[in-house]
Structure 1
Amino acid sequence: MPPCDFVPDKYESYPYEDMLKIRKQNVSPSLTPYYKKPLLLHQGRMQWLFDHEGRRYLDLFAGIATAGVGHCHPKVTAAAQKQLGRLWHTSSVYMHPAVQEYTKKLTSLLPDPLKVIYLTNSGSEANDLAMIMARLYTGSFDIISFRGGYHGNSPYTMGLTSIGNYKHGLPNGIGCQTTMLPDVFRGPWGGSRCRDSPVQTIRKCSCSPGSCQAKDRYIEQFKDTLATCVPKKIAGFFAEPIQGVNGTVQYPMGFLKEAFEIVHERGGICISDEVQTGLGRTGSHFWGFEGHGVEPDIVTLAKGIGNGFPMAAVITTAEIAASVTQGLSFNTFGGNPMACVVGSAVLDAIVEDGLQKNCEAVGTHLLLEFAKLRDEFEIVGDVRGKGLMIGIEMVKDKDSRQPLPTEEVNEIFEDCKDMGVLLGKGGLHFQTFRIKPPMCITKEDADFAVEVFHTALARHKERMATAK
């Protein structure tokens, strides 16, 4: 394991067994912890997490792509501590310098005319508000999103989210329609030059340079949804530039640009959900939508903008924002001084620490190294992503592309944890390992992670051979 000179404080809270008992009795039962023996985390420092016994882990999930600049980043921590002693909370009915300073700094990073910000507390809240904006501005109601997309778990956004595990069998999402996900690995069409990624799928295609049959066919499916499921005029279209919860799914190059044009022709607006792709994580660009050559009408942000502090944002144009003024849009905690000071420090840390460049350099190295494991192991079906947003999809075999059984995925998952690496899981069948670490990880950390994953795959291969 790479060295770390940080020494965590001694754990002094309840014993582990008492914590487990409290968790089972008093914490929501729908919140299932990772691992057979759930981790009791105690402290964090940049890319490292420490459990109650002082054991160190390389965090490759960052609190679900949230601790972007690193756990307890010194600059962010210092800014929060300073503001904590000055003023915790007002409401947006008053002015506070932190709010204006942060909104100016954030909007300077977005293209014109995306210059008006609404501050909220979570990605679900942000996407709720974006749905309202789309409907008020266009005067239409129907909204389209991708199957496999995740945009929140509130009653409103549950209609946008199209992953069965997040559904509760209750009425939700009236006016929300899903369309086929243009997944070039698992979907009906895909090829060897479809993705904007250092690693392509193992599927072959006969496309000539500059053309993509998969993209064209998925566009036809998108048009079919518009022709059959919604009225002639729609309110909008939500898309993650790269799907997060569904396992870092990438679309064919050019698809999103063409889809945005089609939506605009139908009177709708386009919303880029940058909750996981924003703030330089993809490496090549600061915002995920830039990698597709598109300009959305609304951008929603959360997770990494607060580095773990609960905050989120909706950024739009003055024209769209004006449509919301027919009634009050109020959020008690949105834009509180603490959140804005933290958010501003996060933006500074990304620039000062060179984290976008680090995402591109270390992320590309990781992708190429993981691709070597795909070539070595039959169960590694796909390696994909950009920057430090990576997915490794596990399969029974490369020909069928059927998901690797959950119990086998979990064994690999547990082995990695036991060797000191924490991963995420995603996909409709939890068959994809999600790698979205703090953006400060080093090449040495990356090499350690690849070595651990290789060992876990080798152990799986040995177990399966013994079982036969």
Structure 2
Amino acid sequence: MDKATETTAASGLETDWSREAILDRRDRYFAATQRAFVPYETPLVIRQGKGQYVWDEDGNRLIDLLGMNLCISVGHAHPAVTAAVKDQVDRLTHCTTMFHHPVPAHFAEELAATMPAGEDWVVHFTNSGTEAIDLAIMLARSATGNSDMLALRNSYHGATYGAQGVTGVRNFRHNIGQLSNISFVAEPNQYRGIFGAGTEPYLEEIDRTIAYTTSGALAGMIIEPVQGYGGIVVMPDGYLKGAFERVRAAGGLCIVDEVQSGFGKTGEAMWGFERHGVVPDIVVMAKGIGNGIPLGAVVMKRHVAEAMREKFLFHTYGANPVACAAGRAVLQVIRDENLIENARTVGAALMEHLESLKQRYQVIGDVRGRGFMMAIELVKDRQTREPAPEATAKVFERTRDNGLIMSKSGNFKNILRMVPPLCLSMDDVEPVAEALDRSFSGVSPE
């Protein structure tokens, strides 16, 4: 692939693809808040993508095991999504929510249809998942008349002022006064949790937290069915059900954050909460919703939304018809290509290889996940489970050298997180496993 300056035929705009120019412009014109989010020692420049693969500016192909931070759900440049976007762009690029357009309304109907039957679901579109979290908090407080919220330690819900207030990962909590009336509950981490394995001790901790750190009247609790950035921590069976019972007994609403676990990522259903036999009051979604096109949504029971009917609230591009056209195509592709089942079967095959890696490399303390949400946790000692961030950083850099993209995550950055597009195939399993094997070879826990 040519790295020289390119000129787009239609617009005449030039793009300089030389590495030095790309890095210089970013360093010169990006604010510090955006420049800081660079995981690799040598920045990765991505030129194009197709399906589960991307190519850097030198033409090297990498398997995208992160889906561009989980935003690519059905594959890079999926023809059905691309066609839907192009068709809508040719017709109308934006229609403000003050006016009406059929595409967002159709998409709202289709999203509502994915929710549990027997409830009256409505949708509010946002620009992003973080904004959707902010709205969910506001909805819970408005609908209940209460202020106290519960969130889980080790959770990630976003980095805006409101969203970071319910985020339990320190790297995303800025040294500023945080949102008030938020209490954190120990997460039911079956590998590293403070109460060890099991569910009941963590449910009892919810009781104690309500009793000692709140007024006793809750606005709600927010839970990821699978903690994403926290290191793919799967909520154990019975936890969501027990948490919902306690929150509702205290007058609160149950909020499920499906920004990372939704749209089939767990390989079991469209939504991560479905396996737990619960019905949330509010569901937050984003990232994979538009296969990379910016969009988020809050899906809620109608009576919750009605609590804010006296004042309008809008997100300028939240119901953008181009983004909603992409969202409609994503839902259709997931169904037509049987991608949830693909995540289940291919994810299970890959997990077998991760278990094998654990047997061979002492630096691996735990492998876990569900479907296409997978993690490898690195430790200095399997008995003490002390995190091994230095070894993680070394393996992480090697994975890129061996043709993989993933992320370092968790509070101690000792977890390799993998959440690939739903189109990752059985043909990719062996190459991924071999690349991981090469990446771990010779790495010491210390």
1:226 CA drift (Å): 0.7
Aligned to 1:109: 114
CA drift of 1:252 comes to 2.5
TM-score (norm 1): 0.90
Q: Map 1:302-381; keep pairs closer than 5 Å.
A: 302-381=286-365
Question: What is the CA deviation profile of residues 62-93 of structure 1, one whole-angstrom value per residue up to 9, with x for unaligned ones?
Answer: 11111010111111011111111110011111
Rounded Cα–Cα distance in structure 2 between residues aligned with 1:459 and 1:416: 14
Distance 2:27 2:161 in 1: 26
Match of 1:446 in 2: 429
Distance apart, 1:459 and its partner CA: 3.0
Task: Please tell me whether the aligned partners of residues 3 and 18 of structure 2 are also in contact (alpha carbons under 8 angstroms).
Answer: no
- Is 1:188 the counterpart of 2:194? The answer is yes
Q: 1:32 to 1:9 in 2, by over 3 A?
A: same
Identify the residue that residue 69 of structure 2 maps to in structure 1: 64
Q: CA deviation at 1:291?
A: 1.7
1:386 to 345, 370, 381: 370
User: How big is each residue's C-alpha offset from its partner over 1:369-424, in whole Å with a ceiling of 9 and x where there is no partner?
Assistant: 101111221111111110000111111121111101x3321111111111111111
Q: CA deviation at 1:434?
A: 0.5
Aligned to 1:89: 94
For 2:49, which of 44, 51, 56 is the aligned residue?
Answer: 44
Correspondence for 1:211: none
**Aligned residue for 2:413?**
430
Residue from 219, 233, 238 that aligns with 2:222:
238
Distance verdict in 2 for CA 1:275–1:187, change over 3 Å: same
Shift of 1:114: 5.1
Supply the distance in 2 between the matched residues of 1:295 and 1:222 (Cα, whole angstroms): 19
Deviations 1:122-174 (A, max 9, x none): 11110111111101110101110001111111111111011111122111211
Local SS of the residue matching 2:340: helix
Letter in 2 for 1:346: V
- C-alpha change, 1:452 and 1:253, in structure 2 (3 Å) is same
Is 1:134 aligned to 2:134, yes or no?
Answer: no
Partner of 1:149: 155
Count of residues paired in the alignment: 433
Query: Does the 8 Å contact 2:62/2:405 carry over to 1?
Result: yes
Are 1:163 and 2:169 counterparts? Answer: yes
Does the residue aligned with 1:446 lie in a helix, a strand or coil?
helix
Q: How does 1:167-316 map to 2 (within 5 A)?
A: 167-191=173-197, 214-316=198-300
Counterpart residue type for residue 97 of structure 2: S
Are the equivalent residues in 2 in contact too, given 1:114–1:298 (CA < 8 A)? no
- Equivalent of 1:53, from 51, 58, 63? 58
* Contact 2:392-2:408 at 8 Å conserved across structures: no
* Deviates further, 8-17 or 31-40: 8-17
Given residue 188 of structure 1, which amino acid in structure 2 is its aligned partner?
A: I
In 1, Cα distance between equivalents of 2:430 and 2:256: 33
User: Structure 1 residue aligned with 2:83, among 78, 81, 89?
Assistant: 78
Q: Larger deviation: 232-241 or 447-456?
A: 447-456
> Secondary structure of 1:325's match?
coil
2: CA distance between counterparts of 1:161 and 1:267?
A: 22
Report % sequence identity: 37
**Secondary structure of 1:393's partner?**
strand
Q: Is the deviation greater in 30-39 or in 227-236?
A: 30-39
Q: What is the match of residue 205 of structure 1?
A: none
Corresponding residue for residue 24 of structure 1: 27
Q: How does 1:449-468 map to 2 (within 5 A)?
A: 449-461=432-444
Which has the larger displacement, 419-428 or 26-35? 26-35
SS in 1 for 2:218: coil
Distance 1:326 1:408 in 2: 54
- The 8 Å contact of residues 114 and 315 in structure 1, kept in 2 or not, is answered as no
Question: Are 2:392 and 1:409 aligned?
Answer: yes
- Give the whole-Å Cα distance in 2 for the aligned partners of 1:229 and 1:9: 59
The whole-number CA distance in structure 2 between the counterparts of 1:120 and 1:75 is 23
State the Cα distance separating 1:28 from its structure 2 match: 2.6
Superposition RMSD in Å: 1.4
Matches of 1:258 and 1:361, distance apart in 2: 30
1:328 counterpart SS class: coil
Q: Structure 2-normalised TM-score? A: 0.94
1: CA distance between counterparts of 2:390 and 2:199? 34
1:211-270 Cα shifts (integer Å, max 9, x gaps): xxx211111111110110001211000000010010101233211110110100010000
Do the aligned residues in 2 keep the contact of 1:65 with 1:438 (CA within 8 Å)?
yes
What letter corresponds to residue 292 of structure 1 in structure 2?
H
Give SS of 2:343's match.
helix
Deviation at 1:14, TM superposition (A): 3.8
Whether the 8 Å CA contact 1:11–1:42 is kept in 2: the answer is: no
Quote how far apart the aligned CAs of 1:11 are. 6.0
Q: 2:104 aligns with which of 86, 99, 102?
A: 99
CA distance in 2, matches of 1:417, 1:14: 20
- 1:359 touches 1:388 (CA, 8 Å); kept in 2? yes
Alpha-carbon shift at residue 188 of structure 1 (Å): 2.8
Distance 1:408 1:114 in 2: 49
- Once residues 23 and 442 of structure 2 are traced to their aligned partners in structure 1, the CA distance between those partners, rounded to angstroms, is 29
Structure 1 residue 9, shift from structure 2 partner = 7.6
